[in-house]
């Protein structure tokens, strides 16, 4: 009998890190002025968040196996709350390095949400049902980060940038309340889970799983779109197009429309078609959105048509990739804790490398579609490698 997981709690959990990543982004220009730093330096708050996010995926697998799923969640959420308050302290002492360190710790803590969501869903449901659940959970990326950016824009405008981190701490406290009501799915604790030999054996085997690695890379390509947008879009919209942070925050409600419809339609398609085919369609749809962005920016259309409307199409396509690539990858893993850890480490590690590379380029309007074009080409190459593997019909897992 399958264990039922509260869907609302999973929504909050899977979006925990993404909300913490973007909640403060409307305040990035203000942070540059407050600390007297450049735009490339300010982006370290996103870069080091991604580094902590990627590393955090490897931390919670063994912790969850040794102490249980819920203790791992308690540890991560508690670290997120403490780190959010440390970000506020950085403003009080006027030390930018404190903010960067706190953001790194914030990512280590909030990263527990994504990792444990995939673990719980793939433990409690068979692959085809898990794919549908994850597709619907993509709604979290539509609703909560978009609302988070909108809230961050309002908070920054009226209460200053540190208020964004107070809001993050409140999110953590609320999530602790809901997590306490989750069932514990780890029935037998592995007392050797934290031993070095066991860790090397567990993770070593996962890094040899080509289905897992390729699925993680496809997820990472999709995640790059989200975090490159978070790092670049505020400067394009505010510094180049002249929006204020509140306007930028409210405009960010538009792109998640694509995620909403992509999640709902993707869940329906997963019942009828091979997941590999849905992934291919997602890449092509995202590519169409990138082409539209290029054309609109070259023709100097308004910020609405140049940036936010193309992102609706791009996000619509990304939903088809994220849910299905993760499900195919995890269906080839018996140790769900270590498997999801490696998959999400690759996912966030790739996003980290791409965001790190942003400092090599000037902040121009065509930077965003240029990076997106390269990502689309790379993802199509990864898809071809993915599809060349034995196609998986998920009926056989039922």
CA distance 71 to 161: 32
Find the mean pLDDT for residues 8-14.
89
Q: For 235-239, what is the mean pLDDT?
A: 83
> Is 396 within the bounds of a domain?
no
> Which residue would you say has higher pLDDT here, 179 or 339?
179
**35-70 confidence digits (pLDDT tens):** 998 877 887 888 889 889 888 878 887 888 888 889
pLDDT reading at 186 higher than 50: yes
The pLDDT of residue 309 is 93
Mean pLDDT is lowest, of 234-248, 321-335, 338-352, for 321-335
**What is the structure's pLDDT at 328?**
77
Q: Scanning the structure block, which residue is given the tokens 């780890």? A: 186
pLDDT band at 187 (very low <50, low <70, confident <90, very high): confident
Tally: H helices and E strands in the chain:
19, 0
C-alpha 349: how far from its chain's center?
11
397 in a structural domain? no
pLDDT in tens, 346-368: 888 888 888 888 877 776 778 88
Residue 294 lies in a domain: yes
- DSSP annotation of 335 reads -
CA dist 128 and 394 (Å) reads: 6
Cα→Cα distances 60→4, 67, 113, 242, 336, Å = 22, 10, 10, 42, 12
What sign does the CA torsion over 267, 268, 271, 275 have?
negative
Q: In whole angstroms, what separates CA 168 from the centre of its chain?
A: 16
- Residue 118's Cβ-count burial label (10 Å; 0-12, 13-18, 19+) is buried
Residue 2: pLDDT band (50, 70, 90) is: low
Give yes or no for residue 201 having a pLDDT over 80: no
For 51-112, give the DSSP string. Answer: HHHHHHHHHHHHHHHHH-HHHHHHHHHHHHHHHHHHHHHHHHHT-HHHHHHHHHHHHHHHTH
Please name the helix (run of DSSP H) or strand (run of DSSP E) that holds residue 49, with its range, or none.
helix 44-67
Domain limits for position 329: 7-390
| Residue owning tokens 């996010």 | 53
Q: Percentage of the chain surpassing pLDDT 70?
A: 93
Is residue 395 one of the residues assigned to a domain? Answer: no
What's the rounded Cα separation, in Å, for the pair 147 and 164? 12
What pLDDT, on a 0 to 100 scale, did the predictor assign at position 398?
38
Average pLDDT, the chain: 84
pLDDT average, residue stretch 15-44? 87
Q: Is the pLDDT of residue 395 over 50?
A: no
- Higher per-residue confidence, 122 vs 76: 76
Report residue 32: phi and psi, to 5°. Answer: -60, -40
Residue 268 has pLDDT above 50, yes or no: yes
Residue 239's pLDDT is what?
81
Query: If we measure between CA atoms, which residue out of 113, 131, 146, 174 comes closest to residue 26?
Result: 146
Q: How far apart are CA 24 and CA 32, in angstroms?
A: 12
Cα 151–Cα 157–Cα 159 angle in degrees, nearest 5: 85
Residue 226 lies in a domain: yes
With beta carbons less than 8 A apart as the criterion, state whether 26 and 156 touch. yes
Average pLDDT in the 363-385 region?
87
pLDDT tens, residue by residue, 126-174: 766 776 777 677 677 667 777 888 899 899 989 999 999 999 999 999 9
- pLDDT at site 90: 95
Q: Regarding predicted confidence, which is higher, 4 or 48?
A: 48
pLDDT score of 98: 95
Q: Are 170 and 80 in contact (CB under 8 A)?
A: no
283 pLDDT tier (thresholds 50, 70, 90): very high
Q: Is the pLDDT of residue 388 over 90?
A: no
Q: Is the pTM of this model over 0.85?
A: no
- Whether 31 shows a pLDDT value over 80: the answer reads yes
* 83 in a structural domain: yes
Domain contains 336: yes
- Determine the pLDDT at residue 3: 65
Residue 139 C-alpha from the chain's centroid: 12
Q: Give the other-Cβ count within 10 Å of 187's Cβ.
A: 6
Distance between CA atoms of residues 216 and 282, nearest Å: 16
Sign, CA dihedral 280-284-289-290, equals positive
Q: Supply the pLDDT for residue 392.
A: 44
Determine the pLDDT at residue 397: 35
Q: Considering its fold, how many domains does the chain have in total?
A: 1
Tell me the CATH number at 136.
1.20.1250.20
């Amino acid at each position: 009998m399958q264990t039922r997981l509260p869907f609302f709690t999973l929504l909050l959990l899977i979006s925990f890190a993404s909300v913490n990543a973007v909640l403060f982004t409307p305040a990035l220009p203000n942070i540059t002025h407050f600390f007297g730093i450049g735009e490339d330096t300010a982006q370290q708050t996103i870069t080091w968040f991604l580094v902590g996010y990627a590393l955090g995926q490897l931390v919670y697998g063994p912790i969850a196996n040794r102490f249980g799923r819920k203790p791992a969640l308690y540890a991560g959420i508690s670290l997120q709350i403490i780190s959010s308050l440390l970000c506020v302290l950085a403003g009080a002492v006027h030390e930018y390095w404190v903010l960067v360190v706190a953001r790194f710790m914030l990512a280590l803590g909030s990263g527990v949400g994504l990792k444990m969501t995939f673990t719980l869903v793939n433990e409690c449901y068979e692959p085809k049902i898990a794919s549908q659940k994850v597709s619907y959970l993509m709604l979290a990326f539509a609703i909560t980060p978009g609302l988070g950016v909108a809230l961050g824009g309002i908070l920054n405008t009226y209460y200053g940038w540190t208020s964004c981190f107070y809001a993050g701490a409140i999110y953590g406290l609320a999530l602790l309340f809901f997590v306490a009501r989750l069932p514990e799915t780890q029935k037998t604790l592995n007392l050797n889970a934290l031993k070095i030999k066991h860790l090397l054996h567990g993770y070593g085997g996962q890094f040899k799983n080509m289905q897992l690695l390729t699925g993680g890379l496809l997820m990472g390509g999709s995640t790059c779109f989200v975090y490159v947008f978070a790092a670049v879009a505020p400067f394009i919209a505010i510094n180049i197009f002249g929006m204020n942070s509140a306007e930028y925050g409210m405009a960010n409600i538009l792109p998640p429309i694509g995620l909403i419809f992509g999640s709902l339609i993707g869940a329906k398609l997963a019942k009828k078609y091979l997941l590999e085919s849905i992934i291919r369609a997602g890449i092509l749809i995202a590519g169409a959105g990138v082409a539209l962005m290029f054309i609109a920016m070259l023709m100097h259309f308004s910020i609405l048509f140049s940036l936010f409307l193309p992102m609706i199409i791009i996000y619509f396509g990304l939903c088809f990739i994220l849910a299905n690539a993760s499900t195919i990858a995890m269906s080839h893993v018996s140790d769900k804790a270590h498997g999801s850890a490696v998959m999400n480490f690759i996912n966030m590690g790739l996003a980290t490398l791409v965001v790190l590379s942003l400092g090599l380029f000037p902040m121009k309007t065509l930077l965003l579609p240029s990076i997106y074009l390269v990502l689309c080409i790379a993802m199509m190459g990864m898809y071809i490698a993915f599809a060349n593997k034995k196609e998986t019909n998920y009926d056989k897992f039922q």
